[in-house]
Amino acid sequence: MDKATVRIGIIGTGAIGGFYGVMLARAGFDVHFLLRSEFATVRDNGLQVDSAVHGALTLKPVQAYADAADMPACDWLLVGAKTTSNAALAPLIRQAAAPGAKVVLLQNGLGVEEQLRPLLPPSLHLLGGLCFICVNRMAPGVVRHQALGALNLGYHSGPAQTAVARQEIAEQGAGLFRAAQIESQAMPNLEQARWQKLVWNVPYNGLSVLLKASTTPLMKDIDSRALIQALMAEVVEGARACGHELPVGYAEHLFAITEKMPDYWPSMYHDFTERRPLELEAIYAAPLSRAREAGCVLPRMEALHQALGFIDRH
């Protein structure tokens, strides 16, 4: 692959978009970054990733844009904005996409591709990307990478009609990330992969906001540990009701990984402190409603969602 000829656009250069965009650009891909509030700083000072895994990384100059209309047509578009802004991003994606481009939603939660699909032309491929990483924005143009980094992709919809063609495109995407030193796999079932990721996000994202606690205290306290395990079990039950049997011991595996992780504030906590909308629809409402439709009630998750709804509205 001639990396310099693969044009990648980052739609929303925050923690996720900044980290993966810098890694891809440093690997030699032609990466273009769409920014909003941090545009002038990044144009002038570049992007910095302070990584516990890869060291201190700098990208300067950055091909930065404040307007999607100024971006060149991109073969791959990686969407790194929060799920709460997807509808507003659709026109920007359409402007920056080359014909037949692959659009990858690097977001947590369920139902995000379904929400965006009707707003995109049928000629665009739509994929989901699940990021197993701990990153956050420290300052304009500065991303802190604390741990992990893998990114798995699955095909959602678009011109690829057969399972083989869909998997091939997801595989191409995973290949880009692997060429940038990022562990990446093509997932045959995006919906299942999204449920799997929720096993972590449902307990930790919500409880960090509700209890104002990061992962270390949440993992130390007897009651929060029990609550995390009960919430994880509910997500596994919801996934099963919707036809997705998660790997045996998956929740226990995530629980054990979190014990070893450096202390971490999930992205929802940063949204809360910055007074941004919380990703409640994608992380709680959509999975709860799918489970309910399948005849499965998840009472603890429902209660957590209601409490977070109160916080979000106030």
Ligand X SMILES: NC(=O)C1=CN([C@@H]2O[C@H](COP(=O)(O)OP(=O)(O)OC[C@H]3O[C@@H](n4cnc5c(N)ncnc54)[C@H](OP(=O)(O)O)[C@@H]3O)[C@@H](O)[C@H]2O)C=CC1
In the complex with ligand KPL, which residue's Cβ is closer, 98 or 148? 148
Between the CA of residue 204 and those of 112, 113, 131, 265, 306, what are the distances in Å?
A: 20, 23, 15, 9, 16
Q: Which is nearer to ligand KPL, 74 or 239 (CB)?
A: 239
The stretch near ligand X (CB under 6 A) out of 84-92, 151-159, 251-259, 300-308 is 84-92
If DSSP codes are grouped into helix, strand and coil, which group holds residue 292? helix
Query: Can you tell me which of 9, 14, 128, 154 binds ligand X, judged by CB under 6 A?
Result: 14
171 touches 186 (CB < 8 A): yes
**How far separated are the first and last CA of the chain, in Å rounded?**
50
**212 part of the active site:** no
Contacts of 248 (CB under 8 A, 6+ apart): none
Say whether residue 8 binds ligand X (CB under 6 A). Answer: no
To which H or E segment does residue 141 belong? Answer: none
- For the record, the structure tokens of 188 come out as 């045959």
Please identify, using beta-carbon distances, which residue of 106 and 235 lies nearer to ligand X.
106
Q: Which of 3, 197, 220, 260 is catalytic?
A: 197
**Distance from C-alpha of 176 to C-alpha of 104, rounded to nearest angstrom:** 12
Could you tell which of ligand X, ligand KPL, none binds residue 305, using a CB distance below 5 to 8 A set by kind?
Answer: none
What's the chain's length in residues?
A: 314
Question: Minimum distance between the CB of residue 263 and ligand X, rounded to whole angstroms?
Answer: 14
Q: How far apart are CA 135 and CA 137, in angstroms?
A: 7
- Of 48, 51, 86, 107, the one binding ligand X (CB under 6 A) is 107
Identify what 158 binds: ligand X, ligand KPL, none; CB under 5 to 8 Å per kind: none
Of residues 200 and 255, the one with the C-beta less far from ligand X: 200
At 32, give phi and psi (nearest 5°).
Answer: -120, 130
Nearer to ligand X, 112 or 160 (CB): 112
When the beta carbons of 150 and 226 are compared against ligand KPL, the nearer one is: 150
Q: Enter the tokens of residue 42.
A: 């990044």
Q: Exposed/middle/buried for 9, CB within 10 Å: 0-12, 13-18, 19+? A: buried
**DSSP annotation of 2:** -
> Does the footprint of ligand X cover residue 37 (CB under 6 A)?
yes
Three-state DSSP state, 305: helix
Q: How far is the CB of 83 from ligand X (least distance, A)?
A: 5
Orientation angle between helical segments 190-210 and 222-241, nearest 10 degrees:
150
274-293 binders of ligand X (CB under 6 A):
279
Which of ligand KPL, ligand X, none has residue 27 at its interface (CB below 5 to 8 Å by kind)?
Answer: none
Query: If contact means CB under 5 to 8 A according to the sort of partner, which of ligand X, ligand KPL, none does residue 148 touch?
Result: ligand KPL
- 253 binding partner (options ligand X, ligand KPL, none; Cβ < 5 to 8 Å by kind): none
At 170, list the tokens.
């997801």
* Residue 194 interacting entry, from ligand KPL, ligand X, none, C-beta within 5 to 8 Å by type: none
The catalytic residue positions are 197
Residues that bind ligand X (CB under 6 A): 12-17, 34-38, 80-83, 85, 88-89, 106-108, 131, 133-137, 267, 279
